[in-house]
Structure 1
Amino acid sequence: MAASFDTHVSPAPPGGLPAALWLYRFDGEGCAHALDAASTGLGALGAPDAGWHWVHLDLSDVRSAQVVACLPIPDDARETLLSPDSHVNLQREGRAIHGAFVDWVHQRGVDLAAEGQLRGDDGIGWLHFAMTEHLLVTARRQALRSVEAARRALIAGAPAETPVRLLELVASRFADTVERSSDGLSTRLDRIEDRVLADSIGEERRDLAQLRHQTVRLHRPLTAMRRVLKPFEQRHAGDADDELLSAIARLNQRFDDLDGDVGTLQERARLLQDEVAAKLAERTNRHLYVLSMITALLLPPSLVAGLFGMNLPGLPFAHSSHGLAFALLLGVASSALVYGLLRRMGVARST
């Protein structure tokens, strides 16, 4: 089907696609074939007889604007690709789709196969994209984890029959990272919970605070994706046979499940943090109780010692050879008397 949008294409820049990080052509079976972006002309992009193409642009390259201006996509899609906006959006214009998805910033030198979970310094990035039947254009300002993971999957032989399938693959890689990170946080939370139940509390308050912070980092991008994808699916619910709507429905279901898992982690961490605070408060109260009891028991002997320490005439036992023993017995008797009174009042209860 021919595209129903108006594309005013500027003259092609010399030297192919100078701002493209990579360019792939996909055959009828969805297999990716790498092309030289520097020598490939723009005329081949979007041509039905040449399969379909994926162009990935670096927006930090000033030449990317010139390349975007030459692409056979709607003007609104060009604006989306070059927009500095940092929020999730998804728009449909005839047969063209454009928008921005959230993703994790990819740290250089990190092995994606070995490092599936998020690290403490992994930030949020934004993937801008425009898509037609035979062309997918993605653009970013920072290296993105899910895009790199999807590219490596394609190189390894994963098929992508259509641009929609590739976009779903990228979003699925984002969900994979969230799922693995959520599983890792759940394991950490289980270990903390075991220590709390064993009453072996050390750095649990700090660990729980870090864990809750990481769950918030997972929850926010999931909420942003769900806030856009779900209304999009509802607005176009009548297009049941549309490939994009089927992909959006699958992503919505997965994001809903992941958000529920992250929400459960947040609730568990909050309840466990409350329990740790209660146990620490109980431990503090126990220590204060012991200190109060010691103070109460030592106060009468201190009074006796202070009394006999006065250098005044008429002190009892002053001229007795057993005066010290009598004074000590009096101090012990006064402590015993106070302890007995506290027991009768219910203060000296067992802990």
Structure 2
Amino acid sequence: MQQSVSTATAASSPQDDAPLPGLVWAFRFGADGTARQVLGDVLAAPEPGGWCWLHFNLADTRAPQWLASADLPPRARDLLLSKDSYQQMHGSEDCIYGVVADLKRDIAEISDDTGYLRFVMTEKLLISGRHQALCAVDATRRALEHGLRIEGTAALFETIVDEIALALEKMVDSAEHELDHIEEKVLSDDTVDVRQGLGQVRRTCVRLHRHLSGLRIVLHRFERDSPADLKPGLRLRAGKLAQRLDGLDHSVVEMRERSRLLQEELHLQIEEQTSDSLRVLSVLTALLLPPTLVTGLFGMNVKGLPFTETDSGFLWAVLLLLLSSAAAFVVMKRIGLIR
């Protein structure tokens, strides 16, 4: 495989220092695990015991063309070049390939949108690709630039998954802090601008759970179904990685349940406030109904209306209005409408 890939590289790169088409970065690792970032024909003249990591931007149309000519297993190459968003991992004796979910990376921060990392891994080479900028692979690159040593391709993939888990943990901690703040406001009846924040937390929890559950199921399945004759350099500690994600997913599920209960509590408070407002409105309507009836009677243009010939007729009419409201109040008090 390595010889064929090198041949394809040489064919596509006439100059020794020319980067591969669509290549985002490349690292050459020594036998001691030290990494050196390179640009040109990275697969030519590898160090004894060394190996390489090539990371491609699959949105660049030149990258799929180069990868299509690489000597990779047909299924691995098809999955690497596809746009399948289904998380999966497959293995054979000398190759592991698949798709795992990662968080998209904005210019300055991590977003909660999901992107997908595609990879093909042998003992001497890890080829990865993405269509959008991702968080975990970029964090791994920075760690390598700061001197992190990696023993092999399996350890590099485990480092990438660890970075995915670390980014998710940061998002979980941030969402949990926001949820604690919302809970304090709900319990103190300060529900101004709480509904929007609570809805955002629930949305984040749903996305994180979907992300984590898919990834940990893939790792558990690979741990259970991985080939028994897998080469030593490709043996992943998938079970350990899955256990870490299990604990994180448990925290997300608990936080999602908390947010649901808080939303129910918030709805109850809103319903109580609405009920109180309707009660006040009903009482005011009932108190004003008798005076309205009285004013309606005095407004009829017919003969025989009382107080029409009396100088103090207006005062008597006002007194009658007040007495009618007082009578309505006493009646509602006795029947329990006013507490």
State the TM-score, normalized to the length of structure 2: 0.88
Aligned-residue Cα RMSD (Å) equals: 2.6
Q: How far did residue 291 of structure 1 move?
A: 0.9
Counterpart in the other structure of 2:202: 212
What is the DSSP-based 3-state SS (H/G/I as helix, E as strand, rest coil) of the residue aligned with 2:291?
helix
Give yes or no for contact 1:233–1:245 (8 Å, CA) kept in 2. no
Letter of the 1:28 counterpart: A
Q: Percent identity among equivalent residues?
A: 39
Bigger drift between 49-58 and 169-178 goes to 49-58
Query: CA separation in 1, counterparts of 2:229 and 2:189?
Result: 57
What do the CA deviations read for 1:154-213 (whole angstroms, capped 9, x no partner)? 111122111111111111111111111111111111111111111112221222222222
Q: How far did residue 124 of structure 1 move?
A: 2.2
Query: CA separation in 1, counterparts of 2:32 and 2:248?
Result: 31
Bigger drift between 17-26 and 222-231 goes to 17-26
Change (3 A) 1:191 1:77: same
List runs of 5+ in structure 2 lacking aligned partners: none
Query: CA separation in 1, counterparts of 2:227 and 2:239?
Result: 10
Bigger drift between 281-290 and 9-18 goes to 9-18
Query: CA separation in 2, counterparts of 1:134 and 1:336?
Result: 93
> Alignment partner for residue 9 of structure 1, among 4, 13, 22?
4
What do the CA deviations read for 1:272-315 (whole angstroms, capped 9, x no partner)? 11111111111111111111101101111121222223333322
> Alignment partner for residue 318 of structure 2, among 319, 323, 328?
328
Query: CA separation in 2, counterparts of 1:91 and 1:123?
Result: 25
Give yes or no for contact 2:291–2:325 (8 Å, CA) kept in 1. yes
Do structure 1's residue 191 and structure 2's residue 181 form an aligned pair? yes
What do the CA deviations read for 1:40-80 (whole angstroms, capped 9, x no partner)? 4x4445x7x24121111222334434543554543332223
Do structure 1's residue 127 and structure 2's residue 122 form an aligned pair? no
Counterpart in the other structure of 1:314: 304
Letter of the 1:31 counterpart: T
Query: CA separation in 2, counterparts of 1:293 and 1:337?
Result: 13
Change (3 A) 1:69 1:9: farther
State the TM-score, normalized to the length of structure 1: 0.85
Q: How far did residue 91 of structure 1 move?
A: 0.5
Counterpart in the other structure of 1:18: 20
Query: CA separation in 1, counterparts of 2:83 and 2:230?
Result: 33
Letter of the 1:332 counterpart: L
What is the DSSP-based 3-state SS (H/G/I as helix, E as strand, rest coil) of the residue aligned with 2:98?
strand
Counterpart in the other structure of 2:52: 53
Give yes or no for contact 2:86–2:99 (8 Å, CA) kept in 1. yes
Letter of the 1:266 counterpart: R
Query: CA separation in 2, counterparts of 1:27 and 1:153?
Result: 16
Change (3 A) 1:201 1:63: closer
Do structure 1's residue 39 and structure 2's residue 38 form an aligned pair? no
What is the DSSP-based 3-state SS (H/G/I as helix, E as strand, rest coil) of the residue aligned with 1:123?
strand
Query: CA separation in 1, counterparts of 2:230 and 2:127?
Result: 25
Change (3 A) 1:314 1:159: same
Counterpart in the other structure of 1:148: 138
> How do residues 58-137 of structure 1 correspond to structure 2 at under 5 angstroms?
58-69=57-68, 71=70, 73-108=72-107, 110=108, 115=109, 118-119=110-111, 123-137=113-127
Q: How far did residue 94 of structure 1 move?
A: 0.5
Query: CA separation in 1, counterparts of 2:307 and 2:227?
Result: 101
Query: CA separation in 2, counterparts of 1:193 and 1:71?
Result: 55
Counterpart in the other structure of 1:178: 168
> Alignment partner for residue 28 of structure 1, among 19, 27, 31?
31
> Alignment partner for residue 223 of structure 2, among 212, 233, 242?
233
> Alignment partner for residue 336 of structure 2, among 319, 333, 346?
346
Q: How far did residue 240 of structure 1 move?
A: 12
Letter of the 1:202 counterpart: V
Give yes or no for contact 1:9–1:69 (8 Å, CA) kept in 2. no
Change (3 A) 1:161 1:330: same
List runs of 5+ in structure 1 lacking aligned partners: 1-5
Change (3 A) 1:237 1:301: farther
Give yes or no for contact 2:123–2:233 (8 Å, CA) kept in 1. no
What is the DSSP-based 3-state SS (H/G/I as helix, E as strand, rest coil) of the residue aligned with 2:4?
coil
Give yes or no for contact 1:88–1:228 (8 Å, CA) kept in 2. yes
Query: CA separation in 1, counterparts of 2:287 and 2:267?
Result: 30
Query: CA separation in 2, counterparts of 1:239 and 1:345?
Result: 84
What is the DSSP-based 3-state SS (H/G/I as helix, E as strand, rest coil) of the residue aligned with 1:9?
helix
Q: How far did residue 32 of structure 1 move?
A: 0.7
